[in-house]
Structure 1
Amino acid sequence: MVLILEDIQIGWICALTTEASVARLMLDHVYNETIPLPRHDDNIYTYGQINLKTGDGFHNIAIAQLPLAETGKASAATVAKDMRRTFPNIKFGLMVGIAGGIWSRGIDVRLGDVVVGVSDDNGPGVIQYDHGKYLQDSAFIQRGVINKAPKLLRTAVGIVQRNHMCKVRDYVTSSDSPKIRRFAHRPAHDYLFEPRYTHKVKGRSCRYCASDRLRNRPKRSFTYLAIHYGPIASGDAVIKDALFAQTIQEKHGVLCFEMEAAGLDAFPCLVIRGISDYADTHKNDDWHPYAAAAAAAYAKEVLAVVPPTAVAQLPSIAIRSKNLHTGPAYMASLREQEQIRQMRASQKPKLTSKNLHTGPAYIASLREQEQTRQYRESKKRGRGGGCTVM
């Protein structure tokens, strides 16, 4: 299949390089071709497919990473906005990566677990805890609530939840891919200290901290990751203060802290976070790869149960403007993509309930892909190997 901008319906956003690397490994197929982008779009995309569990189809996805050293809601909002401007059929997104978890006796969030931003009480999936107002002689009044994930994704989350998430832990720990196994190494130690006990020596392992200040947690009856569903706290600061994190948790019932989702209120998406630290002074990078892999595996599991036909029926969230798409290379790409679309339309059989999932439609799809390939080859021969702009 030759990819065009209209084929992309799902945007996957990551903040860190580790997160983007493992997201790419979750793709069942990677498109190696490059699509010329409009001048306004500074994102660099990885294009690929995630297949359905049933084998009846796949999703075309564009993965984008925030610029280095530019994490946070403003950068996430810019990346999402460029996605919406570039892909005319984009329907929703995923924000996938790591976060700082908050353990409590009521909700046993631990390192390597996954938190999904949905609420059982039909409340918000993300809370912007630092957005609100201060009144004289009054406490801070928080007002930041982010839109819920699209209903289709929340339905898919329910399906995955009923399946007890066995596939996610199996995919993270038992993958045949050496690259995925590199990310899936689970660190041996999970230290959770008392909120008032701070890390003593910067750069040294928590093994050198006082063991008598570790919190007393019941031993888990299982060794694999757990999945938690509830609101996620999003704000502009990296949280390394266990007392502050505990206060926000008690006030809003959040399960973890992150920095990007607050910028995605205009980008309907599901926020998925792997827990890599406890939002305290003992924060380190040891759990980053495993937590990123766990979150990405969950995202893959969700998309694998979402029917492509249901995605196609959703309204586009694209931003449309006549003045955005400029530049000779992009205009040439538009002409080429339009020719490909016309060729597809001329060869596409009319789908009915009788032939939607039968041989003729599949054969027609194969024929369409071969004709598109031949069209591209003929254009290359016509250019004589050069780079002529039409």
Structure 2
Amino acid sequence: MPEGDVWSDVTIGIIAAKSVEGAAMRALMTGPRVARLESDPNEYRVGHLDSLEPGRPHRVVLVTLPEDNNRNAASTCTDMLRSFPRIRCVVMAGIAGGVPAPEDPPRHVRLGDVVVALEGIVDYGHLRQGPEGAEPRRPISGISMHLKRAAQHLEQGQMLGEALPWPGLLAPPGERPMAVFARPSDEADQLHRGRREIPHPDRALSGHPDGVPKVHFGAVGCADVLLKDAELRDQLAARHGIIAFEMEAAGVATGVANRGLSWFVVRGIVDYCDGWKNDRWHAYAALAAAGCLRAVLAQCPPFPVAWRMAPTGVRTLLPEWEMDRLHALLDQARGVDGRAVWPAATGGLIPLPVSPATLNELAVLLARQNARPDLVPPLLAFAEHVAARVPHRLAGELRAWTDLVAEQILHLDDRMRAYRQRLEESRGHELPAGTRAVPIRPCLLIQIERDDIDSERCEVRYWIQRRSDRWQPEPSNPGQTTFRQIERVLQGAIQHAETSWRDSADGEPVEIELLLPGDLLRQAVEWWNTELEAPAPTPLCLDYPVVVRSLDRMRAPYRHRIWNQRWRAMWQQPARHQVYRGREDPVKEELGPWNARLRERRDVTTVVLGSSPDHESGSHELESALNAGIPVILWDRRPGSPAPEIAELLTEATDGSPADLLASIRTLRVQAALLPEGPDTRERHPGRHLALLWDDPDRNVYEPGEQP
């Protein structure tokens, strides 16, 4: 094997900041071997840790930092990724200080516990001062979704009372010298407030089993500062939602994310970040963190390895679960003739099987074939050609699968984008006249739904419409986040969409559509920011036309007929709005008659609400208009009836062609953004308060009656 490929199957890198952390991790690895590589100053240990699939363990490499700080962590991580180029995820496993919460027992962190950074890393050493106080300047994205899902499995088990396999993890085989990692007595876990020792809450209330750690899931704070101030600890924890503090993860995570790889952080708690620090818990907490990481990896399938074979191309080693996903999708592609797809996918270079074959049987045969001369794997080309022959929802799922495989497994995302563009150009065609009311444009549709249990959390999913000739939005996988972090999630979705649009040369505008349930429609989403790491974050409405849409109506097929009729009526020549205005005085004009006149007038296409939906009367009008199938709804978000200047602007905007409305609203928003901040400038400009619901029934991401 060529030099540099000796450890080419290593897919997980583990970084320990201290020797005790490295020793704990080594104790739990199977068959660790020393690895030294030319031009790399570090000494590595390469071994295995169990995965979800028996007989297919994770191949991991462990390195210990020369000194514990962000700079050394980032430098060592760079060396490791250069020496082990097929690493997919870098993990920080070691010790940290915890944030106790004796007044809130379920959140109380004790010595020897483990913290898993499912809510991310807060780099509180790099802040910017804003009107509401200091906030981290550089959000750190890139947590491993594979390990996050595995950790959530453990989190759910812990919530249901299922114990982690701590006895096996914290008491490894006797031939290892494990006495150094023994758990200190409970008397060594002292909690102080100032100079006074205070009691821990009862274990039954805090959920701490006797003699073993509790695992906490939340945010970890990081800076090049050894935190020994309980008051500052509590301030930072309250401000940023932090439950543990350490000194290396931010440097590693930032460097890893910049390379397009993922990271994960597991920490054992050794002190309370106050003036009572000592080393008594270091060894046990390091072993607890290593044991928790081993438990997480045991719930995670092994990362696949992509092998590049010059000069003939790529031989793919796709994991079984990815082939299973493809099989499930191909099973839905009824009516597609696989034998007709075969020569197009193979470029005529691979003979067609003699016996009849299903799509899945052909896919299995193609999975064994080397890449075509253009370096596109035949299996992915096959999936793309099937996607071009099926309904848009299934087509989007097939393309999402090829994107995932091309980007995360084979690292061929640029080549696959170019192949998809060539395929679309070769199959491009004009839709029959009158099929659509308005042209299709590339857009990003982002769906946000509040969590049913925790109102501060939400689920986000998005679809990317890449092309202009057919409606085929391609879905992403849904993800959970908090409303506090929503802008970061949107920023990632926009970056993904912009990457997919980068080859578009026609310069046509792209749009952002927010699919929202009724309780979120009133949010001023167009003023949410992107470019969060920049000195001046950018509102969405500066770069894109932004509209809101009714998610509830999209999912309700019994409302689609009248919704379609009103939308098409708006585009009949000459295209125009038929405007119905809200009530000027809800006390004198009751909702019932207003709603009856709206439903009786089937030519109405556009409603201007009489007041903001934040007010009860405006909320009732909005719901009535949606139920009546109105596709375009405008309102002033400020309390009371629309201000005179907004009423005049809305009259002008809706007097013209519907095609001009999006541009008119965006122009007003940009004008507002260009003004300096202040109560007498930007906040008074009408563009700051205009809301637009623009709901094209043809742009539906759900099949009739379908739920996600």
Is TM > 0.5 for Structure 1 vs Structure 2? yes
SS in 2 for 1:295: helix
Match of 2:386 in 1: none
Q: Rate the CA distance shift 1:54–1:246 in 2: closer, same or farther, 3 A.
A: same
Say whether residues 1:257 and 2:257 are aligned partners: no
Aligned partner of 2:21 among 19, 22, 26 = 19
Q: CA RMSD in A?
A: 3.1
Aligned partner of 2:125 among 113, 130, 135 = 130
Q: Rate the CA distance shift 1:237–1:352 in 2: closer, same or farther, 3 A.
A: closer
- Residues 1-31 of structure 1, C-alpha deviation per residue, up to 9 Å, x if partnerless? 9981312111000000000011111112223
1:168 CA displacement = 4.2
Match of 2:49 in 1: 50
SS in 2 for 1:166: coil
Say whether residues 1:72 and 2:69 are aligned partners: yes
Say whether residues 1:229 and 2:224 are aligned partners: no
Match of 2:92 in 1: 95
1:307 CA displacement = 1.5
CA contact 1:160–1:302 (8 Å) conserved in 2: yes
- Give the alignment's TM-score, normalised by structure 2: 0.39
Runs of at least 5 residues in structure 2 that lack an aligned partner in the other structure: 257-261, 324-708
- Residues 334-365 of structure 1, C-alpha deviation per residue, up to 9 Å, x if partnerless? xxxx9xx99xxxxx9x9997xx9xxxxxxxxx
Q: Distance in 1 between matches of 2:274 and 2:128?
A: 26
1:174 CA displacement = 3.5
How do 1:191-210 residues align onto structure 2 when only pairs under 5 Å count?
191-197=189-195
Match of 1:113 in 2: 113
Q: Rate the CA distance shift 1:108–1:299 in 2: closer, same or farther, 3 A.
A: same
Match of 2:285 in 1: 291
Q: Distance in 2 between matches of 1:351 and 1:311?
A: 6
Q: Distance in 2 between matches of 1:277 and 1:261?
A: 18
Q: Distance in 1 between matches of 2:19 and 2:144?
A: 26
SS in 1 for 2:124: strand
Q: Rate the CA distance shift 1:100–1:89 in 2: closer, same or farther, 3 A.
A: same
Residue 241 of structure 1 aligns with an amino acid whose one-letter code is D
Q: Rate the CA distance shift 1:56–1:255 in 2: closer, same or farther, 3 A.
A: same
Match of 2:266 in 1: 272
Q: Distance in 2 between matches of 1:237 and 1:283?
A: 14
CA contact 2:122–2:136 (8 Å) conserved in 1: no
1:51 CA displacement = 2.4
CA contact 1:168–1:294 (8 Å) conserved in 2: no
1:90 CA displacement = 1.1
Structure whose alpha-carbon radius of gyration is higher: 2
Q: Rate the CA distance shift 1:217–1:44 in 2: closer, same or farther, 3 A.
A: same
SS in 2 for 1:149: coil
1:194 CA displacement = 3.6
Match of 1:150 in 2: 144
How do 1:279-318 residues align onto structure 2 when only pairs under 5 Å count?
279-308=273-302, 310-312=303-305
1:282 CA displacement = 0.5
- Residues 237-286 of structure 1, C-alpha deviation per residue, up to 9 Å, x if partnerless? 11111111011111111001000011021212110000001111100000
SS in 2 for 1:5: coil
SS in 2 for 1:145: coil
How do 1:19-38 residues align onto structure 2 when only pairs under 5 Å count?
19-31=21-33, 34=35, 37-38=37-38
Q: Distance in 2 between matches of 1:29 and 1:66?
A: 21
Q: Distance in 1 between matches of 2:305 and 2:65?
A: 27
Runs of at least 5 residues in structure 1 that lack an aligned partner in the other structure: 120-124, 198-212, 317-337, 343-347, 357-390
CA contact 2:170–2:291 (8 Å) conserved in 1: no
Q: Rate the CA distance shift 1:252–1:85 in 2: closer, same or farther, 3 A.
A: same
Match of 1:359 in 2: none
Q: Rate the CA distance shift 1:108–1:190 in 2: closer, same or farther, 3 A.
A: farther
Q: Rate the CA distance shift 1:251–1:57 in 2: closer, same or farther, 3 A.
A: same
Q: Rate the CA distance shift 1:11–1:82 in 2: closer, same or farther, 3 A.
A: same
1:167 CA displacement = 3.7
Match of 1:83 in 2: 80
SS in 1 for 2:198: coil
CA contact 2:191–2:200 (8 Å) conserved in 1: no
- Residues 71-129 of structure 1, C-alpha deviation per residue, up to 9 Å, x if partnerless? 1111000011111111121111110000000101331100000000002xxxxx11011
Q: RCO (CA 8 Å, sep 6+): is it higher in 1 or 2?
A: 1
Q: Distance in 2 between matches of 1:141 and 1:217?
A: 31
How many pairs align? 298
Match of 2:59 in 1: 60
1:193 CA displacement = 3.8
Q: Distance in 1 between matches of 2:87 and 2:99?
A: 33
CA contact 1:196–1:243 (8 Å) conserved in 2: no
CA contact 1:9–1:92 (8 Å) conserved in 2: yes
